[in-house]
Chain A
Amino acid sequence: MESTATQFVPPRRSVAVTVRDFLQYRFSRWFLLLVTACFAVIFVAPFAWTVSTSLRQPMESFSVPPQWIVLNPDWSNYVQVFERIPFFRQILNSFIVAIAVVVGQLCTASLAGYAFARLEFPGRNLLFWLVMATMMIPLQATIIPVFVIISRLGLANTLWALIIPALPTAFGTFLMRQYFLGVPKDFEEAAVIDGANQLQIFARVYLPLVTPALAVLAMLVFNGMWNDFFRPLIFINDPYLFTIPLGLNDLKGYMATGSISVVLAGVTMSLIPVVIVYIFGQRYLIEGIMMGGVKG
Chain B
Amino acid sequence: MSSTASRSQHATSHVRRSFNPYIWLTENTLHGMARRKALLGYLFLAPTILGILVFTAGPVLFSFILSLFRWNVFTPPQWVGAVNYTRMFADSRALTGFWNSFVFVTFAVGLQVALGLLLAMILQTRMPTWLRYTYRTSFLLPMLMSGAATAIVLGYMLHREFGAVNYYLGLLGIPRVPWLTEPGWAMVSIIISYLWLSTGFTMILFIGGLTNISTEILDAADVDGAHGFTRFWHITLPLVSPTLLFAAVTGVIGGLQVFDLPYIMTRGGPGDSTRTAVMVMYESAFKNMEIGYGSTIAVVLFLIILAVTAGQFGLSKRWVFYQ
Query: Which A residues have a C-beta under 8 Å from some C-beta of B?
Result: 29, 32-33, 35-36, 39-40, 42-47, 49-50, 53, 62-66, 107-109, 111-112, 114-116, 119-122, 124, 127, 130-131, 134, 136-149, 151, 164-165, 167-170, 173, 192, 197-199, 202, 223, 226-230, 233-234, 244-246, 248-249, 252, 260, 263-264, 267, 270-271, 274-275, 278, 282, 285-286, 289-290, 292-296
Contacts and interface: CB of A to CB of B under 8 A. Distances in A.
Contacts of A107: 47
A66 B139 contact: no
Given A249-B148, A267-B149, A46 B162 contact: no
B148 A296 contact: no
A289 B154 CA distance: 25
Given A39-B139, A246-B148, 5 more contacts: A138-B256, A145-B295, A198-B36, A227-B145, A260-B156
Contact of B162 (A47, A63, A202): A63
A119 B44 contact: yes
Given A144-B285, A144-B298, A121 B141 contact: no
Closest 7 CB pairs of A and B: A296-B246, A168-B51, A227-B146, A290-B208, A145-B59, A119-B41, A245-B148
Contacts of A289: 201, 204-205, 208
A64 B138 contact: no
Interface residues of B, number: 96
Interface of B: 33-34, 36-42, 44-45, 47-52, 54-60, 62-63, 66, 73, 119, 122, 125, 127, 131, 134-135, 137-150, 152-154, 156-157, 159, 162-164, 167, 196, 200-201, 204-205, 207-209, 242-243, 245-247, 249-250, 253, 256-257, 259-260, 263-264, 278, 281-282, 285-286, 291, 294-295, 298-299, 301-302, 305-306, 309
A142 B285 CA distance: 12
Contacts of B299: 141
Given A198-B40, A230-B259, A245-B149, A140 B204 contact: no
Given A168-B47, A267-B149, A119 B260 contact: no
A84 to B, nearest CB: 14
A46 B157 contact: yes
A170 B57 CA distance: 11
B141 to A, nearest CB: 6
A271 B52 contact: no
Contacts of A230: 259-260
Contact of B41 (A47, A124, A173, A245): A124
B277 to A, nearest CB: 8
B119 A108 contact: no
B315 to A, nearest CB: 15
Secondary structure of the B contact surface, majority rule: helix
A174 to B, nearest CB: 11
A245 B146 contact: yes
Contacts of B146: 226-229, 244-245, 248, 270
A144 B52 contact: no
A277 to B, nearest CB: 8
A271 B153 CA distance: 12
Nearest to B147: A229
B218 to A, nearest CB: 17
Given A140-B281, A168-B47, A248-B149, A40 B144 contact: no
Contacts of B51: 108, 167-168
B37 A293 contact: no
A169 B56 CA distance: 10
Contacts of A168: 47-52, 55-56
A240 B37 CA distance: 46
A131 B256 contact: no
A121 B37 contact: yes
A267 B256 contact: no
A136 B264 contact: no
Given A33-B127, A49-B153, A136-B305, A293 B138 contact: no
A26 to B, nearest CB: 12
A63 to B, nearest CB: 7
Contact of A112 (B38, B45, B243): B45
A67 to B, nearest CB: 10
Contact of A62 (B47, B131, B144, B162): B162
A66 B55 contact: no
Contacts of B282: 233-234
Contacts of A275: 144
Nearest to B211: A290
Nearest to B126: A29
Contacts of A143: 59, 298
